[in-house]
């Protein structure tokens, strides 16, 4: 037991002396900047009125089987974010990475 305590103390001491590096997390940036993105439930028309025409509109994609369980999902790409619609209402808006060093989802090609 004494050896385990000593090992933990040594490991903690080494961690405290390690060089510190800070990563920019996408989540932290989004929370800090309070970005203006579409809210869940808004219609396609409301999004287009507020944010203008998207840079790119992707065709709707539906899963296999019936539309009730696998509704069509449409994606619109704007300069700093993408909006996902189920039928014609927003289900999510995702902020793009600001720089290659930012940790978060990989950009969509």
CA pair distance 12, 16, nearest whole angstrom: 6
Question: Residue 37 in contact with residue 77, Cβ under 8 Å?
Answer: no
pLDDT of residue 60: 93
**Full domain range(s) for residue 37:** 23-95
- Strand ranges, E, within the chain: 56-57, 73-77, 81-86, 89-95
Q: How many domains does the chain have?
A: 1
Residue 65 lies in a domain: yes
Please write the tens of the pLDDT for every residue from 21-62. Answer: 555 555 555 555 557 899 999 999 999 999 999 999 999 998
CB neighbours (10 Å) of residue 24? 14
CA pair distance 80, 34, nearest whole angstrom: 13
Residue 58 lies in a domain: yes
pLDDT of residue 63: 81
């Amino acid at each position: 037991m004494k050896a385990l305590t000593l090992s933990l103390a040594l490991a903690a001491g080494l961690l405290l002396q390690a060089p510190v590096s800070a990563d920019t997390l996408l989540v932290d940036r989004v929370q800090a900047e309070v970005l203006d993105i579409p809210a869940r439930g808004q219609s396609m028309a409301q999004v287009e009125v507020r944010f203008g025409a998207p840079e790119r509109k992707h065709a709707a994609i539906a899963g296999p089987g019936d539309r009730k369980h696998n509704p069509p999902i449409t994606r619109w790409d704007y300069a700093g974010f993408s909006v996902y619609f189920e039928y014609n209402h927003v289900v999510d808006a995702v902020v793009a990475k600001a720089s290659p060093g930012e940790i978060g989802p990989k950009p969509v090609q």
